[in-house]
Amino acid sequence: MKIIFLNRYFYPDHSATSQLLSDLAFHMAKTGTPVYVITSRQTYDDPDSLLPGKDSVQGVGVIRVWTTRFGRRSLPGRTLDYLTFYLSAACSLFVLLTHRDIVVAKTDPPLISVVAAIVAKIRGARLINWTQDLFPEVAGALGVGGINGLEGLLRSVRNWSLRTASKNVVIGDGMANKLTEEGIQPGAIQVIHNWADGRAIQPVDREKNDLRREWRLEGMFVVGYSGNIGRAHEFDTILDAAEQLRSAKNIVFLFIGGGAQRNRIEEEARRRGLGNIMFKPYQPREQLSLSLSVPDVHLISLQPALEGLIVPSKFYGIAAAGRPTIYVGDREGEIPKILRETGSGCTVSVGDSAELGNRILDMFRNNNETLSMGLRARLAFDQHFDQRHAFTAWELLLQQANASSLNT
């Protein structure tokens, strides 16, 4: 049995889907299982990059296929990138895949599960879909052009690929419910949360954090946002709260990362004269303990229309760093449920900047309770969201898929 992962990005790319895939592929290779990854030669932030076509990384065989390299600059170019990846990946998968192998298809690019399902069916292999978001629903919720009138057809094709799979792994209960509503049998769905590495990400005391000193944040109460500053996330509520708190001299808002909305947010902060907002680039993965421990509290935001379609994975790194979270979004969402159950944060509705400002002030004034929420976040992480829990679930799932193939 071989395990073949299929995703557009893989190590050394630093995007979220790449990091999760890299973690799992490297772990499975350590168990002695032959592991391959079919991916592109690009990185997420640099479509002009050209990684080696074939490689071996930590025991994983990497096959990087040819695609066009237009990147995210235009919808037609992005679509052509997708189509050429589908074609190249299908050819490589057809050659590599044999009877009783297992192919694990992630969700980048959209509908890659359809390509994987067709090839797996022809080759007599098992398919597991690893669903990080639901397309085309996400595109529809974000108002992405080019799919008007096609959403029903795309969902039908997507659902066919889900029905052919041995298992569909989703990353939250809300997503599982969405697939059930689409007619996917509950027995074909399994929730395995995304994760962070609790050994690599450890809480760092404020006084011992070199980045706080380097960024001149000693003595400040830091409200952080770390990760993708993209279209799926809501920032106007955060900007409004920062404006309301501009006179609070010891409170600063810190954005670490990049994405489609970063330029807009920087320009809006300048337009409003918000000197209490700082921006920093993505930090190296080996510095996550420091960068995630700079804030005293983290913000996570998600457009309510996307609840159940996406789960913000940044939460797991925040919890590993022992920091509380204020979630801006649907109060009944996936992350708010965890925050309530674990006492590691709170939720504010989109548009309620006054409540967000008050929550931040409460945490600033009640430092002991803020620290306690952070301790509870790390405890919940250790008990439920460390990567070892996910790896155990994946190992069992892959063993069951292999045993099932041996019986057919």
Helices 367-380 and 334-342 pack at an angle, to 10 degrees, of 110
Answer yes or no: do 311 and 340 share one domain: yes
Are 327 and 380 found together in one domain? yes
**Cα pseudo-dihedral 90, 192, 232, 148, rounded to 10:** 50
Query: How many domains does one find in the chain?
Result: 2
Report the DSSP beta bridge partners of residue 85.
Answer: none
Does residue 131 lie within any of the structural domains? yes
* Strand residue runs (E) in 239-289: 251-258, 277-280
Concatenated DSSP letters of 206-235: GGG-HHHHHTT-TT-EEEEEEEE--TTS--
Same structural domain, 121 and 220: no
Query: How far are the Cα atoms of 169, 173, 247, 249, 336 from residue 367, in angstroms, in the given order?
Result: 39, 33, 20, 16, 22
For residue 113, what are the CA distances in angstroms to 23, 177, 341, 365?
21, 19, 34, 49
Residue 232 lies in a domain: yes
**Domain range enclosing 241:** 206-385
90 and 149 share a domain?
yes
Which residue in the block uniquely carries the two structure tokens 């398919």?
Answer: 127
| CATH number for the domain that contains residue 230 | 3.40.50.2000
The whole-number pLDDT of residue 240 equals 98
Residues 121 and 225 in one domain: no
Query: In this structure, is residue 200 part of a structural domain?
Result: no
- Do 223 and 318 share a structural domain? yes
Structural domain contains residue 201: no
Q: pLDDT 10s per residue in the chain (408 long)?
A: 999 999 999 999 988 899 999 999 999 999 999 999 999 999 987 888 899 999 999 999 999 999 998 887 788 888 899 999 999 999 999 999 999 899 999 999 999 999 999 999 999 999 999 999 999 999 999 987 667 778 999 999 999 999 999 999 999 999 999 999 999 999 999 999 999 999 999 999 999 999 999 999 999 999 999 999 999 999 999 999 999 999 999 999 999 999 889 999 999 999 999 999 999 999 988 999 999 999 999 999 999 999 999 999 999 999 999 999 999 999 999 999 999 999 999 999 999 999 999 999 999 999 999 999 999 999 999 999 999 999 999 999 999 999 876 665
Please tell me the predicted confidence (pLDDT) of residue 16: 86
29 & 102 share domain: yes
Tell me phi and psi for residue 43, to 5 degrees.
-115, 160
pLDDT at position 47, please? 82
**Looking at the structure, do residues 246 and 176 belong to the same domain, yes or no?**
no
Q: Is residue 345 part of a domain?
A: yes
**In a domain? residue 170:** yes
Please tell me whether residues 334 and 234 are part of one structural domain: yes
| Token representation of residue 49 | 């990059």
Q: What is the pLDDT of residue 48?
A: 85
Place of tokens 């209490």: 276
Of the candidates 240, 303, 306, the residue with the CA atom closest to the CA atom of residue 277? 240
In terms of domains, do 211 and 184 share one? no
Enter the DSSP assignment of 321: T
Q: Say if residue 381 is in the same domain as residue 400.
A: no
| 66 occurs within a structural domain | yes
Does 119 share its domain with 136? yes
Contact status, residue 376 vs residue 368, Cβ threshold 8 Å: no
Q: Is residue 138 part of a domain?
A: yes
- SS3 string of 112-129? HHHHHHHHHHHHCCEEEE
